[in-house]
Amino acid sequence: MFAAAIFDMDGLLIDSERPIMAAWIEAARTLDIELSHSQYLQVVGLAMTESEHILASLLGGADAYNHAVAHVRQRLQLERSDGAPLFPIKPGAAEFLSALRERGTRCAVASSSTSGQIQACLGSLGVLHHFSAFAGGDEVARAKPDPALYLLAAERLGVDPAECIAFEDSENGAKAALAAGMRVVVVPDLKHPPASIIERAFHVLESLHEAVPHLSRWFPAEAAARLS
């Protein structure tokens, strides 16, 4: 039915949202501010400029925000001092990517992270080789929910967007993929997309483990053969 799979990264392929949120809450406490989970969730899935504006407002201004950024970076750096990857791979992701590779299905990443961050992160987890193309937030003028990232990923795969399934955890990411003309499989993470997105989703999964049984129906071998 479909010829290619395009993945978001943060919160979908890697478990990055939780340690980042914990670091921000800790950073706020160094400023004597109690940043709640619900307050932080306002920035999940947003473009960097939007999240910076909201966090600066919650923390009391630009100076406080800059202090918190430095603390967050230091905290995350300490967490990787044992040599382990900074962010672990999400359950089922490696299994699903391996199964797609065995079928010859082309895969790409469309993430708001920079292209360098995408490749460094996925390389550290040993799954970089599963992807044929990457589209990073530093390569497009407009962030999700604009479809630019997904359109760029499909172009680099050489696949029509209508032949792609996008895998997303966030509202803005799902909106971007839908606007690009793709079907969207939603795998919610910290912040569940609203009902309006769930209703438009091609499928909703608890984890990428649940995607494996759908492989033969979603990505038939003949679809991959057309692109070989």
Residue 126 burial (CB count, 10 A): 11
- Binned at pLDDT 50, 70 and 90, residue 79 comes out as low
Angle at the Cα of 62 from the Cα atoms of 50 and 32, rounded to 5 degrees = 105
Q: What is the pTM of this model?
A: 0.90
pLDDT at 222 over 80: no
pLDDT tens digits, 190-203: 888 999 999 999 99
Residue (of 19, 26, 27, 25) closest to 70 by Cα position: 27
The mean of the pLDDT values for the chain is 92
11 exposed, middle or buried (CB, 10 Å; 0-12, 13-18, 19+)? buried
Q: Which pLDDT score, from 0 to 100, does residue 27 have? A: 96
Q: How many Å apart are CA 1 and CA 102, to the nearest integer? A: 17
- What sign has the CA pseudo-torsion 212, 218, 220, 226? negative
pLDDT at 82 over 80: no
Query: Mean pLDDT lowest for which of 125-134, 157-166, 187-196?
Result: 187-196
